[in-house]
Chains A and B, each alone.
Chain A
Amino acid sequence: MPEPRGIDPRGPRFAAGVTALLLAVTVVLGLTGLSSSQDAAFGWFAYQPLATVAGSWAVTAVPLPVRLADPGFLLLTAITLLFLWSVLSPRTAPWGVLYRKVVQPRLAPPAELEDPRAPRFAQGVGLFVTGIGVVLHLLGVPLAVPIAAGMAFIAAFLNAAFGLCLGCQLYLLLQRAGLVGRAA
């Protein structure tokens, strides 16, 4: 495989910062919304047949369209789709384009370029974590939205603030588990 062209390492960190902010909002929406509610008559969906099961998780009791309409779920779904975009086409992903068009021209040129495969791997991990949250919420599992968003937030924030690199920390663990990087 030819060596891919290097990218400005500050681009993925900028994207991680935006993503961390969105995930923080998702955590709050998830904790205040349907995902964490134990009130069967959640919000303005006073869903009559469920009044008798008060005390159980609302997300398990309400029908699918109500789960779909939860704001925390919708934001987590949007973030998941953005991760998918970054994995499939890193050059055109929105936060990367925003960085190159608006932020990068105002900064000094980067001291060194990095391999684009590293941030792409991290986006794949983000896609995996938030994707699980989306699926579990649709299946009616309580707290799926805030927990998935919280885990992805930790990784995104560490990337943005401390330069943590998931490809550095996780790749060899996955390799040991036999999931990636087998000799051809």
Chain B
Amino acid sequence: MNIIDALIVLAALLAVTIGVGVFLRWQQRRPRRFDPTEVVDPRRLGATALGEAATLLQFSTETCSRCPGVHRTLTAIADDAEGVLHLDVDLTHRPDIAKHFHVLQTPTTLILDRHGVVQTRFGGAPGREVVELELARVTAEQVHA
């Protein structure tokens, strides 16, 4: 292969890589809504209770560099909102929990309503505004219901 062809291959590799990066970034900031099917038992996760209005359930691992940042963001959100609890569960040595919730990447954050039903899922590091918007939606729906 001559140098021109090699540089074309490199340019194609770069283009594909940038495409993957843009897609991952878009996907990781998008909330996914769930059919309310599962009720989370806090004792399974090593917690005594869930939040009165809602719970931000975060899954982390030791090898996850973005988890501490998300932890700080979610703690700040929980502190500012009445009745909202933030739980951070370390999955590093808990494959059973990871498997149960189908967590394949960290951080993954679930928003639970006051009954412990999973309402929203974030795979990745969501922005504070997006989480607050979803939290407002989850708590508001319960008032109407």
Name A's B-contacting residues (CB within 8 A): 9, 12, 24, 27-28, 31-32, 36-37, 112-115, 117-119, 121, 146, 150, 153-154, 157-158, 161-165, 167-169, 171-173, 175-176, 181-184
A146 to B13, CA, bound (A): 11
- CB of B24 within 8 A of CB of A28, answer no
Distance A106 CA – B98 CA, assembled complex (angstroms): 41
Closest 6 CB pairs of A and B: A167-B63, A118-B65, A31-B6, A162-B21, A121-B63, A168-B64
Q: Is the CB of B93 within 8 A of A182?
A: yes
B82-123 interface mask toward A, CB cutoff 8 Å, 1 = contact, 0 = none?
000000000111111011000111110000000000000000
B3 / chain A contacts, CB cutoff of 8 Å: 28, 32
Closest B residue to A117 by beta carbon equals B62
- Is the contact region of chain A dominated by helix, strand, or loop, or is it mixed? helix
Nearest chain B CB to A24 CB, angstrom units: 6
Nearest Cβ on chain B to A71's Cβ, whole angstroms: 13
Interface, chain B (partner A; CB < 8 A) = 1-3, 5-7, 9-10, 13-14, 16-18, 20-22, 24-25, 61-69, 72, 91-96, 98-99, 103-107, 124
Distance in angstroms between the alpha carbons of A157 and B10 in the assembled complex: 13
List A contacts of B16 (CB < 8 A): 154
Closest to A36 in B: B1
Select which of A112, A167, A175 is within 8 A of B69 by beta carbon: A112
- In angstroms, how far is the closest chain B Cβ from the Cβ of A70? 14
Q: Are B98 and A31 in contact (CB under 8 A)?
A: no
Are B63 and A117 touching (Cβ within 8 A)? yes
Indicate if the CB atoms of B98 and A172 lie closer than 8 Å. yes
List residues of chain B with CB within 8 A of the CB of A184.
93
Which residues from A are CB-within-8-Å of B107?
168
- The 8 listed contacts between A and B (C-beta, < 8 Å) are A117-B63, A154-B20, A165-B65, A168-B61, A168-B107, A171-B63, A175-B91, A183-B94
User: Which residue on chain A has the smallest CB distance to residue B92?
Assistant: A181
Give chain B residues whose Cβ lies under 8 Å from the Cβ of A115.
Answer: 62, 64-65, 68
B25 touches A162 (CB 8 A): yes
A172 close to B66 (CB less than 8 A): no
Give Cα distance in the complex from A153 to B107, angstroms: 24
* Neighbouring B residues of A113 by C-beta, 8 Å: 68
Chain A residues near B17 (CB, 8 Å)? Answer: 153-154, 157-158
How many whole Å from B44's CB to the nearest CB in chain A?
Answer: 15
Q: Across the interface, do A161 and B18 meet the contact criterion of CB distance under 8 Å? A: yes
